[in-house]
Amino acid sequence: KILIAGNLSASPSHTLNTIRGVTGDREQVLIIELTDADAAAIKSDNTVATKTDGSDTFIRLSAGTALDTAFVPSSSINSQLAKQIFPDDVLPSLLSFTLNVNDGILSMTFDDVIDSSTFQPASLIIQSGLSASTQERIALTSSSNTTSLDGRVIDINIGRNDLNELKALTAVASDIDNSYLLMAATAFDDPNG
Protein backbone atom coordinates (compact mmCIF):
# COMPACT_ATOMS: atom_id res chain seq x y z
CA LYS A 1 0.00 0.00 0.00
CA ILE A 2 1.31 3.45 -0.95
CA LEU A 3 -0.02 6.58 0.74
CA ILE A 4 0.70 10.17 -0.40
CA ALA A 5 0.21 12.90 2.23
CA GLY A 6 0.76 16.62 2.66
CA ASN A 7 2.22 16.41 6.17
CA LEU A 8 3.83 14.01 8.64
CA SER A 9 0.51 13.11 10.27
CA ALA A 10 -0.68 11.75 6.89
CA SER A 11 -3.88 13.74 7.07
CA PRO A 12 -5.23 14.53 4.57
CA SER A 13 -3.83 11.79 2.40
CA HIS A 14 -4.49 9.67 -0.67
CA THR A 15 -3.87 5.95 -0.91
CA LEU A 16 -2.90 4.87 -4.42
CA ASN A 17 -5.55 2.48 -5.70
CA THR A 18 -3.84 0.96 -8.70
CA ILE A 19 -0.29 1.24 -9.91
CA ARG A 20 -0.09 1.44 -13.70
CA GLY A 21 3.66 0.97 -14.03
CA VAL A 22 6.65 0.67 -11.76
CA THR A 23 10.22 0.82 -12.93
CA GLY A 24 13.48 0.88 -11.07
CA ASP A 25 17.17 0.68 -11.58
CA ARG A 26 20.20 -0.50 -9.68
CA GLU A 27 20.50 2.96 -8.07
CA GLN A 28 17.66 2.19 -5.62
CA VAL A 29 15.24 4.48 -7.43
CA LEU A 30 11.63 3.44 -7.76
CA ILE A 31 9.45 5.29 -10.27
CA ILE A 32 5.71 4.85 -9.82
CA GLU A 33 3.41 5.83 -12.67
CA LEU A 34 0.10 7.09 -11.28
CA THR A 35 -3.21 6.08 -12.77
CA ASP A 36 -5.44 8.88 -14.05
CA ALA A 37 -7.74 8.45 -11.04
CA ASP A 38 -4.88 8.69 -8.53
CA ALA A 39 -3.34 11.69 -10.33
CA ALA A 40 -6.72 13.46 -10.36
CA ALA A 41 -7.21 12.82 -6.63
CA ILE A 42 -3.76 14.21 -5.80
CA LYS A 43 -4.24 17.24 -8.08
CA SER A 44 -7.58 17.96 -6.40
CA ASP A 45 -5.91 18.20 -2.99
CA ASN A 46 -4.28 21.61 -2.71
CA THR A 47 -2.28 20.53 0.38
CA VAL A 48 -0.17 17.92 -1.44
CA ALA A 49 2.47 18.20 -4.16
CA THR A 50 2.20 21.96 -4.65
CA LYS A 51 5.80 22.91 -3.78
CA THR A 52 8.57 21.97 -6.20
CA ASP A 53 11.00 21.35 -3.33
CA GLY A 54 8.72 18.54 -2.11
CA SER A 55 8.25 20.07 1.35
CA ASP A 56 4.50 19.38 1.28
CA THR A 57 4.66 15.81 -0.01
CA PHE A 58 5.31 12.68 2.02
CA ILE A 59 5.07 9.04 1.03
CA ARG A 60 4.31 6.11 3.27
CA LEU A 61 4.90 2.54 2.05
CA SER A 62 3.56 -0.58 3.71
CA ALA A 63 5.94 -3.48 4.25
CA GLY A 64 6.18 -5.60 1.11
CA THR A 65 5.17 -2.81 -1.29
CA ALA A 66 8.24 -3.53 -3.43
CA LEU A 67 10.59 -6.45 -3.98
CA ASP A 68 14.31 -6.22 -4.51
CA THR A 69 16.12 -8.14 -7.25
CA ALA A 70 16.31 -11.21 -4.99
CA PHE A 71 12.53 -10.91 -4.37
CA VAL A 72 12.99 -9.83 -0.77
CA PRO A 73 10.03 -7.65 0.32
CA SER A 74 10.70 -4.05 1.32
CA SER A 75 10.27 -2.89 4.89
CA SER A 76 7.74 -0.19 5.64
CA ILE A 77 8.63 3.47 5.16
CA ASN A 78 6.84 5.92 7.40
CA SER A 79 6.39 9.47 6.02
CA GLN A 80 9.42 9.98 3.78
CA LEU A 81 9.67 13.56 2.46
CA ALA A 82 9.78 13.94 -1.33
CA LYS A 83 13.05 15.30 -2.71
CA GLN A 84 11.47 17.04 -5.68
CA ILE A 85 8.05 17.54 -7.25
CA PHE A 86 7.44 18.10 -10.94
CA PRO A 87 4.26 20.20 -10.94
CA ASP A 88 1.41 19.77 -13.38
CA ASP A 89 2.02 22.30 -16.15
CA VAL A 90 -0.52 21.03 -18.68
CA LEU A 91 -3.56 23.23 -19.19
CA PRO A 92 -6.89 21.39 -19.09
CA SER A 93 -9.01 21.15 -22.25
CA LEU A 94 -12.74 20.78 -22.60
CA LEU A 95 -13.54 17.33 -24.02
CA SER A 96 -17.33 17.54 -24.21
CA PHE A 97 -20.42 19.13 -22.72
CA THR A 98 -24.09 18.37 -22.27
CA LEU A 99 -26.76 21.01 -21.88
CA ASN A 100 -30.09 20.26 -20.22
CA VAL A 101 -32.26 23.32 -20.80
CA ASN A 102 -35.14 21.79 -18.82
CA ASP A 103 -33.07 21.40 -15.65
CA GLY A 104 -30.75 24.34 -16.34
CA ILE A 105 -27.57 22.24 -16.08
CA LEU A 106 -24.51 22.61 -18.29
CA SER A 107 -22.22 19.64 -17.60
CA MET A 108 -18.64 20.04 -18.82
CA THR A 109 -16.06 17.23 -19.05
CA PHE A 110 -12.35 18.12 -19.10
CA ASP A 111 -9.20 16.10 -19.72
CA ASP A 112 -7.69 17.23 -16.42
CA VAL A 113 -8.78 18.37 -12.96
CA ILE A 114 -10.51 21.76 -12.73
CA ASP A 115 -10.55 24.06 -9.68
CA SER A 116 -14.31 24.65 -9.53
CA SER A 117 -13.97 27.68 -7.23
CA THR A 118 -12.32 29.65 -10.08
CA PHE A 119 -15.42 29.55 -12.31
CA GLN A 120 -16.02 32.82 -14.20
CA PRO A 121 -19.58 32.70 -15.64
CA ALA A 122 -19.07 35.48 -18.20
CA SER A 123 -16.35 33.35 -19.82
CA LEU A 124 -18.98 30.90 -21.11
CA ILE A 125 -21.20 31.69 -24.08
CA ILE A 126 -23.92 29.37 -25.39
CA GLN A 127 -24.56 30.07 -29.06
CA SER A 128 -26.31 28.73 -32.15
CA GLY A 129 -23.24 28.02 -34.30
CA LEU A 130 -19.50 28.30 -34.63
CA SER A 131 -19.77 32.01 -35.40
CA ALA A 132 -23.10 33.24 -34.10
CA SER A 133 -24.43 36.80 -34.22
CA THR A 134 -25.09 38.60 -30.95
CA GLN A 135 -28.82 37.76 -31.29
CA GLU A 136 -28.04 34.03 -31.34
CA ARG A 137 -25.97 33.74 -28.19
CA ILE A 138 -26.03 34.26 -24.46
CA ALA A 139 -23.09 34.89 -22.15
CA LEU A 140 -23.68 33.52 -18.68
CA THR A 141 -23.85 36.00 -15.82
CA SER A 142 -23.13 35.86 -12.11
CA SER A 143 -26.56 34.26 -11.60
CA SER A 144 -24.99 31.03 -12.93
CA ASN A 145 -22.74 29.06 -10.58
CA THR A 146 -21.31 25.67 -9.76
CA THR A 147 -21.44 23.58 -6.62
CA SER A 148 -19.21 20.89 -8.13
CA LEU A 149 -16.13 19.76 -6.29
CA ASP A 150 -12.77 20.02 -8.04
CA GLY A 151 -12.60 17.35 -10.71
CA ARG A 152 -12.85 16.51 -14.39
CA VAL A 153 -16.62 17.00 -14.59
CA ILE A 154 -18.02 20.39 -13.63
CA ASP A 155 -21.77 21.04 -13.57
CA ILE A 156 -22.89 24.62 -14.07
CA ASN A 157 -26.24 25.60 -12.59
CA ILE A 158 -27.57 28.08 -15.14
CA GLY A 159 -29.14 30.96 -13.22
CA ARG A 160 -32.84 31.72 -13.58
CA ASN A 161 -32.29 34.94 -15.59
CA ASP A 162 -29.73 33.26 -17.86
CA LEU A 163 -31.99 30.24 -18.36
CA ASN A 164 -35.03 32.40 -19.18
CA GLU A 165 -32.98 34.35 -21.71
CA LEU A 166 -31.65 31.10 -23.22
CA LYS A 167 -35.17 29.67 -23.54
CA ALA A 168 -36.35 32.89 -25.24
CA LEU A 169 -33.72 32.42 -27.97
CA THR A 170 -35.50 29.79 -30.07
CA ALA A 171 -32.54 29.47 -32.47
CA VAL A 172 -30.16 28.48 -29.64
CA ALA A 173 -29.99 25.16 -27.79
CA SER A 174 -33.22 23.76 -29.22
CA ASP A 175 -31.33 20.75 -30.63
CA ILE A 176 -27.78 19.45 -30.97
CA ASP A 177 -27.19 21.27 -34.26
CA ASN A 178 -27.61 24.73 -32.69
CA SER A 179 -25.94 24.10 -29.34
CA TYR A 180 -22.37 25.39 -29.27
CA LEU A 181 -20.29 26.44 -26.30
CA LEU A 182 -17.66 29.15 -26.52
CA MET A 183 -15.30 29.08 -23.55
CA ALA A 184 -12.67 31.71 -22.83
CA ALA A 185 -9.36 30.63 -21.28
CA THR A 186 -10.40 32.53 -18.14
CA ALA A 187 -13.46 30.31 -17.47
CA PHE A 188 -11.58 28.04 -15.02
CA ASP A 189 -8.14 27.31 -13.64
CA ASP A 190 -6.68 23.97 -12.76
CA PRO A 191 -5.66 23.49 -9.11
CA ASN A 192 -2.18 24.86 -9.89
CA GLY A 193 -3.54 28.07 -11.40
- Which has more confidence, 114 or 132? 114
Whether residue 19 contacts residue 39, with contact meaning beta carbons closer than 8 Å, is answered with no
- Which has more confidence, 131 or 135? 131
Across the chain, what does the average pLDDT equal? 84
Query: In this model, does residue 122 exceed pLDDT 90?
Result: yes
Rg (C-alpha) for the chain, rounded Å, is 22
CA–CA separation, 49 vs 192, rounded Å? Answer: 10
Pairing of strands 151-157, 105-114: antiparallel
Half-sphere exposure of 150 (CA within 13 A, CB side): 21
Return the pLDDT at 57: 83
Return the pLDDT at 135: 73
Whether residue 124 contacts residue 157, with contact meaning beta carbons closer than 8 Å, is answered with no
Return the pLDDT at 93: 92
What are the tens digits of pLDDT across the range 151-192?
899 999 999 999 999 999 999 999 999 999 999 999 998 877
Q: Which amino acid is at 54?
A: G
Return the pLDDT at 20: 54
What are the tens digits of pLDDT across the range 24-82?
555 666 667 778 788 888 887 777 887 888 888 888 878 887 777 788 888 888 878 88
CA–CA separation, 169 vs 14, rounded Å? Answer: 46
Pairing of strands 137-139, 145-146: unpaired
Whether residue 187 contacts residue 116, with contact meaning beta carbons closer than 8 Å, is answered with no
Query: In this model, does residue 19 exceed pLDDT 70?
Result: no
Query: In this model, does residue 102 exceed pLDDT 60?
Result: yes
Secondary structure tally for the chain: helices H, strands E:
2, 13
Say what the pTM is: 0.76
Q: What is the 3-state secondary structure (H, E, C) of 87-146?
A: CCCCCCCEEEEEEECCCCEEEEEEEEEEEHHHCCHHHEEEECCCCCCHHHEEECCCCCEE
